[in-house]
Structures are given as structure tokens and as C-alpha cells.
């Protein structure tokens, strides 16, 4: 063989080797990527050959699928439109899924390893077994009450959120973000219709797609005084300890006075700790924070869950919707020493303190549960297609353990009950039950209205906790915190009714 032919032969062999290597690369390493690519039309058709599982709460379907006559054999539908949108989410054809539809996608689609037995049986029957069902922990009555009351709040707030938890288990009883959206147009099989619906929501200045209950943080205002009070009680104070107060306070190095919301609030030079929380005494808690110091306040907040960046709400194994980290900020000078001006403002929930509504509910839940903070969850059970086989059942777990002692929690309960019975949280009262809470009014920006907050809990007469709630009304203005307390009372009342008073 002459040299030119040998060179051609070598080139051909090299090309065949490269082709063989590429085929193996595609089959061994890239197959899943190509098979699951959004650009693979056959994947979309195959996904819709199997009926997607149901998402439900209280034996009621919140998301299900109905047969169609089109190439995509099932259409996802959401019977309650906006009410459960931020929890359930949506599963579109060409867009990214959200909510529980995203976090439990494989189980709902029937492709989860937990459902391999059902897929094997399909090989014998030739049928496509439906996906599994996801049962949520939500109280249907509480969720719908929260949505209704937020949407029709009496101060005209257009944005806000509400979260309710079972303090004993961490089960999420309600989770609402306002404004909400109707997920049905987003799952249309007409891609132009679905994309237009998404673009409209995405460009809406009120940002209805944002889950304000979990993914956004806001200054908590006076609700943060519960953290200050806990820090004081753990450092030698009692609920009857007298603390400095007065009508006005200017922290060292500060050029700004801190005043109370009204002249009638703690004008005395000293008030007891329980009176300070009941009246929501700004000067008292600003002075208290400076006395306790930045590290004490920051560490107390961290015990309750601030700065936690890996919290999710879904299953208890960490799979679920992401919760943004609540923060206190440094509250320090560049030299590492305390910044009294920032510390005084932080003590009343301003400066750089930011909190999610979920974090607010977790604070109230820990207090109500004698100091034990439970990990929040939404997924109660995962049922196989036959609805008799359980593949997962939530077993409650502690989140941050005992964040405060039982004694401190009991004192905080008494102080928060006093705030509802004798102070700013009166709108949350429920006859025949022990309700505690704390309102909060937080400055948002010089040219915007104040936020309104309420965090609280309801217990039976024997002290057993039933629910812990946080309600947030964004830029609610005057009366916002009182309205947040009223809405929280309605949500807690719904939980009590759903539980049959038990």
C-alpha cells in the first residue's frame, strides 16, 4: 500500500474512532440531558401520556388533570384559581414549574423511584398508571379564610402575606401571598396563550408571582420586641423587672430621637418588662437593646431562626420551597464595637433587621410550644396511584431545638397574652381561648406608608397550642397592625373550628 492510501486509511480509522466515542458519549453521558431537554418535543408528549397525580388538602383536589382530545392527553387544572396558587404552584408545558408542582414533580409525574413498582406493572398491562398523589397539611378553612381576609383587608393594602403553623408539629395550616394569580392560563396547551399569561404576570408592577410569605424579607417593627424580651429573660430579667423608658430616647452617637407611637405610651421613667411589651414601648426596648448589646440580640435572634439560609418548606427531608434568610444586620461599628444608634433602632425592628412572615410565625410557634421550635412542613403524605400505598408520612422534627427554656417561654406567653388582652393586639382575641401576640408597625421608606404586622398564637384553656400565625400587610399605613391582628384572629379562629375545638 502506498503512502497516500495509508494516510487516507489512518484518517478514516481516526474518524470512525471519534464517531464511536461520540456515540458512547451521547448514550452514556448525554442521554438523560437530551431526553429531558425542553426542546425535545417527544418528551413533552410522553410526559402527558400519564395522568399527573393529584395535589390535595382536606380531601379536596387543589390540582388535578383532565383528559383532552389533543396530542397532549391531559390538561392540568387548578379548581381554586388564586387561593392556593403560591403553595401549589403550576406545571406548564414550556415554562418552569413552581411550588409543590415543582418540588414533588417526579412523584406527581409517576417517574419517582418510589413508584418503580407501578411502572414495572405497566410493562405487563400496557397501561400508563397515573402519578402519585400529594396530600398537604393545609387546613382548607384556614387557607381560604386567610386568602379572603387578606384580599379584603380593611386598610386597602394591596400586598401582604399570612402564615399559620401547628406549633406542636410544624404543619403549615395556611400560607397565602397577596396579590395572587390564577395558574390555569399558565398551563394552557396553547404555548402562545401560556407565554402571554406569564409575561403579563411577570411585568405586573405588583409582582403577583412573588411568594411574599417565604421569599421576601421586611422590617418587622415591634414584633421584634419578642426577641428582645426573650434575650432579657435569658439574661437575668423577669417579666416584672423594671426597665428605663420615658417619652423620648436618643442613643449615644445617634442624631435621631426614638419616640413612642403616642404620648400615653410608657411616659414613666421606668416600666416593667411585661408592661413594655403590652404597650409596645419603643423607648424601653431601644434602651434595653443597647443595654443587652449587639451580640446578645443577634444570638437570640439566631436561636429563633434568623440567618438560617437552608430552610425549606415541603417534605421534612429538606425537599421543598425555599425560605429566605431573616437577618439582623451587623449592628457593629467598623472597629467591631457596638453601634448604639443602630442597636437602638434594631431593638424596635428597624435599621437592617429583616424578617419573612414564615419566620414571624416560627417565633410565635416556639413561644406557644414551651420553647420548642418545630420544622415547618407542607407535605403530609405521599400516596401511590392506588391511594392505599403510603410512600411518605411526615414525622414532626425539631428545627432549632429548644430555643428558650420552658420558664422563659411561659413568661413570654404571659407577656404576649397581656399584649392581646390589654394592649395593641386586642383585635386577635378569641372567646374561650388563650391568645397571645405582638403587633408591629415598621417604617418602609420616607415616601411610603408603614408596614403592619402581627405575630401570635392561640392555645386551649389548658395551655395546649393550636396555631401560631404571622400576618403582614405591606405599606398598610395607619391601622395596619391592628388590621393584621384582626386577620390573624380570623385565621386562628378558622383553625380552631377546623380542629373541632379540640
* Positions marked active-site: 222
Nearest-CA neighbor of 197 among 94, 125, 127, 113? 94
CA distance 274 to 495: 28
> What cell numbers appear for 282 in the block?
419603643
Burial of residue 66, with CB atoms counted within 10 A of its CB: 0-12 exposed, 13-18 middle, 19 or more buried: exposed
Q: Phi/psi class of residue 394: alpha, beta or left (left: φ > 0; alpha: ψ in -120 to 50)?
A: beta
CA distance 202 to 207: 7
Alpha-carbon Rg for the chain, nearest whole angstrom, is 27
Half-sphere exposure of 85 (CA within 13 A, CB side): 22
Note whether 368 and 465 are within 8 A (CB).
yes
CA distance 171 to 191: 36
> Which residues, at least 6 apart from 226, have a Cβ–Cβ distance to it below 8 Å?
277, 363, 364, 367, 412, 416, 438, 455
**Which run of H or E residues covers position 270?**
strand 270-272
Other C-beta atoms lying within 10 Å of the C-beta of residue 265: 21
Amino acid at each position: 500500500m502506498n503512502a497516500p492510501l495509508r494516510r487516507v486509511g489512518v484518517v478514516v480509522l481516526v474518524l470512525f474512532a471519534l464517531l464511536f466515542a461520540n456515540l458512547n458519549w451521547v448514550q452514556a453521558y448525554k442521554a438523560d440531558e437530551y431526553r429531558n431537554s425542553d426542546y425535545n418535543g417527544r418528551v413533552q408528549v410522553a410526559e402527558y401520556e400519564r395522568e399527573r397525580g393529584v395535589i390535595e388538602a382536606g380531601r379536596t383536589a387543589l390540582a388535578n388533570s383532565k383528559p383532552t382530545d389533543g396530542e397532549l392527553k391531559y390538561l392540568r387544572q387548578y379548581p381554586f384559581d388564586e387561593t392556593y396558587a403560591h403553595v401549589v404552584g403550576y406545571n406548564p408545558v414550556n415554562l418552569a414549574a413552581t411550588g409543590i408542582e415543582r418540588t414533588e414533580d417526579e412523584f406527581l409525574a409517576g417517574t419517582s423511584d418510589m413508584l418503580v413498582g407501578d411502572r414495572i406493572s405497566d410493562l405487563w398491562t400496557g397501561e400508563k398508571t397515573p402519578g402519585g398523589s400529594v396530600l398537604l397539611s393545609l387546613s382548607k378553612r384556614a387557607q381560604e379564610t386567610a386568602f379572603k381576609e387578606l384580599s379584603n383587608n380593611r386598610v386597602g393594602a394591596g400586598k401582604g402575606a399570612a402564615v399559620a403553623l401547628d406549633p406542636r408539629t410544624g404543619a403549615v395550616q395556611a400560607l397565602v401571598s397577596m396579590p395572587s394569580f390564577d395558574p390555569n392560563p399558565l398551563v394552557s396547551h396553547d404555548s402562545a396563550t401560556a407565554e402571554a399569561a406569564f409575561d403579563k404576570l411577570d411585568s405586573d408592577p405588583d409582582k403577583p408571582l412573588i411568594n411574599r410569605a417565604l421569599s421576601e424579607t421586611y422590617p418587622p417593627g415591634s414584633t421584634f420586641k419578642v426577641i428582645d424580651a426573650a434575650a432579657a429573660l435569658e439574661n437575668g430579667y423577669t417579666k416584672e423587672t423594671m426597665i428605663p423608658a420615658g417619652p423620648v430616647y436618643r442613643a449615644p452617637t445617634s442624631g435621631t430621637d426614638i419616640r413612642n407611637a403616642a404620648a400615653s405610651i410608657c411616659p414613666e421613667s421606668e416600666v416593667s418588662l411585661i408592661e413594655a411589651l403590652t404597650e409596645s414601648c419603643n423607648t424601653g426596648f431601644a434602651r434595653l437593646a443597647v443595654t443587652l448589646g449587639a451580640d446578645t440580640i443577634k444570638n437570640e435572634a439566631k436561636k429563633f431562626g434568623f440567618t438560617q439560609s437552608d430552610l425549606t418548606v415541603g417534605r421534612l427531608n429538606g425537599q421543598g420551597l425555599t425560605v429566605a434568610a431573616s437577618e439582623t444586620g451587623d449592628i457593629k461599628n467598623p472597629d467591631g464595637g457596638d453601634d448604639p444608634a443602630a442597636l437602638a433602632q434594631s431593638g424596635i425592628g428597624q435599621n437592617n433587621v429583616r424578617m419573612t412572615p414564615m419566620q414571624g410565625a416560627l417565633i410565635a410557634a416556639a413561644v406557644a410550644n414551651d420553647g420548642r421550635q418545630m420544622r415547618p412542613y407542607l407535605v403530609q403524605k405521599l400516596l401511590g396511584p392506588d391511594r392505599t400505598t403510603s410512600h411518605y408520612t411526615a414525622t414532626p422534627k425539631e428545627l432549632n431545638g429548644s430555643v428558650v427554656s420552658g420558664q422563659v417561654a411561659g413568661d413570654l406567653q404571659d407577656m404576649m397574652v397581656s399584649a392581646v388582652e390589654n394592649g395593641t393586639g386586642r383585635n386577635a382575641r378569641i372567646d374561650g381561648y388563650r391568645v397571645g401576640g405582638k403587633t408591629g408597625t415598621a417604617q418602609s421608606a420616607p415616601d411610603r406608608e408603614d408596614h403592619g404586622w402581627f405575630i401570635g398564637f392561640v392555645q386551649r384553656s389548658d395551655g395546649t397550642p393550636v396555631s401560631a400565625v404571622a400576618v403582614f400587610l405591606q405599606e398598610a399605613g395607619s391601622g395596619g397592625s391592628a388590621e393584621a391582628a384582626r386577620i390573624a384572629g380570623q385565621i386562628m379562629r378558622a383553625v380552631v373550628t377546623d380542629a373541632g375545638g379540640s
